[in-house]
Structure 1
Amino acid sequence: MRLTYTESERAFRAEAADWLQSALSGEFSDLRGLTNRVSAPKRRLEWEQHLGQARWSVVGWPAKFGGRDATLSERLIFAEEYAAAGGPPRLNHLGVELLGPTILTYGTDAQKSVFLPAISAGEAIWCQGYSEPSAGSDLSAIRTSAQLHGDQWSINGQKVWTSLAQFSDWAFILARTTPKSVGRHGLSFLLVPLDQPGVSIRPIRQITGDAEFNELFLDDARTAADNVLGKVGGGWEVAMSLLGIERGVSTLGQQMTFRNELDAVMAAARRNGTAKDPLIRQRLAQSEIGLRLMRFGALRMLGGASDNQTNAAITYKIQWASWRRSLGELAMDVLGQEAEIAPALPAGEYEMPMLTELFLSSRADTIYGGTNQIQRNLIAERGLGLPREPRGDLKG
């Protein structure tokens, strides 16, 4: 793990910081500091396209697909500078951070040439079709099916908790393509256009008042026979690879967002005097220590050998999720009754203050992307080699 930067890396940081500061102080100043993932979708789409035009959207990708061939250190630097500059949540996070790298690994040359430039340019927004009502943490229990009819797949089923589906053009979907297959066998990773009669999207209103998540219904939805990433029946490998990428470089940018949230909690504590409370001060100090430990842990994970990366990745999710949930609770204790008041908007709507939204949204952190209990199972079984937990009659 190297904690210093070369002269060229410092120059890269300066270039990225200057561009971000200029863009977010000028044409896109209205997006600076935005934290709500469903707000201003049209403007955030324009921001995606602006990033693409300046080749800042996918810096780690090959230049021929819209990237900058950035090194791992440079990718980390850009993620940090983006968060430090107050860049808005990426509308195409799933396409840029998850699907794109997976296509680079598993895609054919034709798939790379079709899908990657559209992602990097902000012309195609993607969502993820994994979870189902009966297959949340147990992803291998999915029931969505796909059958090949001529030159098209026909897909039937339901996905749930589909983030930002209402703004997306495409979905990458895990479906069962081998009839009567069980568990992780017989699954395929399909790339499916959403603008078609066989697709309907129903937003799910959350505790924050927003609808970031959606139900996705597939009723004889179609996609081309060639739109399979990896091998037919080999979707589990592709899906697991994608989830591994989720624990990758973007974690450092995520931590910069956490840094901004912790700073806001500290500022509120100083403003209203709760920082003088010794218990509050102790919890603030614990939050600061936890965040710094996460940073060094993530750097070790990204820079280590493959075995160390795997073990670190399965512990990182439970670490940051539990930390942020505790930070949300601390924010409420700092704010007191102030946290219960939200400015009213027209038509009876309301807008949550940043720290109140932090508390409410962090309730889900220990559930999505692998519940804490599932993560503990992974740590025990994969990391420590303990016996597998009984899983009923399912095989695979």
Structure 2
Amino acid sequence: MRTRNTGPTRVGLFGILGSGNLGNDGSLDAVINYLRERHPAVELDFMCMGPDRVSAQYGAPATHLQWYEARGEAIRWLPGPVAKIIGRLLDPARTLAWVRRQDVVIVPGMGVLEATVPLRPWSFPYSLYWLSRLARLTGTRVALVSVGADFISQRVTRWLVTRAARLAHYRSYRDAHSRNAMWEMGIDSAADDVYPDLAFALPAPPAPAAGTGTVGVGVMDYHGDNDERAHGDELHRAYLGKVKGFVRWLTDNGRAVRLFTGDKADEPVVREILADGPADRISAASVSSLDELMREMAAVDAVVATRYHNVLCALKTCRPTVSIGYAAKNDVLMASMGLHEFVQQARSLDLDTLIAQFTELERRSAQLQRILAERNLETRQRLERQFAALSAALFPAPAAVEVR
């Protein structure tokens, strides 16, 4: 048990942060903005995948989430499997040393309770389990804030994430689907709240007054979900072929195309699409944050995207959007913003249907932008309630002392 802190509240931020995933980092930005605005005296600390980047950006100490990744070149002499086993054995002790220094640990958004992309149980689920377990041991409060969840069929992964969630001091989800998934996996989530994704709390850039003639296409290094590993390459080829076909249709019909990504893993997909199309009609955005991505998206007329946070940014900037989803969360998000009819699944993407959906999207552009503006206002109001609830749970005001 750590000693009681009598100074400023120490807040740790934990997750796959600073490693190139724009959605995860955007959720972190939203929580940092909230802390600095409402609890400016807190002392920040991080345990994440990109500690150097995060520390430089926020001016606070940061520790690498995993020993194996942190050591890098220093352990090249060890066989890879041996080094990973050593790391897994050392990581609980490293997490204990970090978590005992914190009063509160926040896991900011992210799909930490799902396996909608290929995921091994001994990667982040293992890290999250030890965070929650050791936080209980040391008396540190853990908050899973507006996180994503989905039913996990792989038993070990499911056991790790449900135990981690059960041990958390505070839980909220970014949609009702996530809360229901946790219930299905055995967590009593009835008292847990549902609020919008944290990235909706980020400021949105102004949109241009007139159309630009450019269509945004958000791509992903898609290989199916955790249960489709055996068919990952096949799914990837089929998805990429359909996206290329759609981009060619756009350029053949006089549109310029701006390519977007949401993770550095998507960059090879962008290069392949650029090589396949006319150089004077296709370009790629280079962004390092959700703020920059939203500025890029505000400058196009419509968006067709796959990654969840690409879709979210498009909706937040009131861009009429078609989602080529890889998980239920995409469809749930689109329905919440009034665009439920403009969805497809990446694993079964149909090019003719996509063209028809996009054509209808353009025809109804003005109407859809009005709907998105209304939904964004409601979403922001709900996130204000999320932050108020979080403050009440983690930073309660000192009890008043009656003077006689």
Normalising by structure 1, we get a TM-score of: 0.27
Normalising by structure 2, we get a TM-score of: 0.26
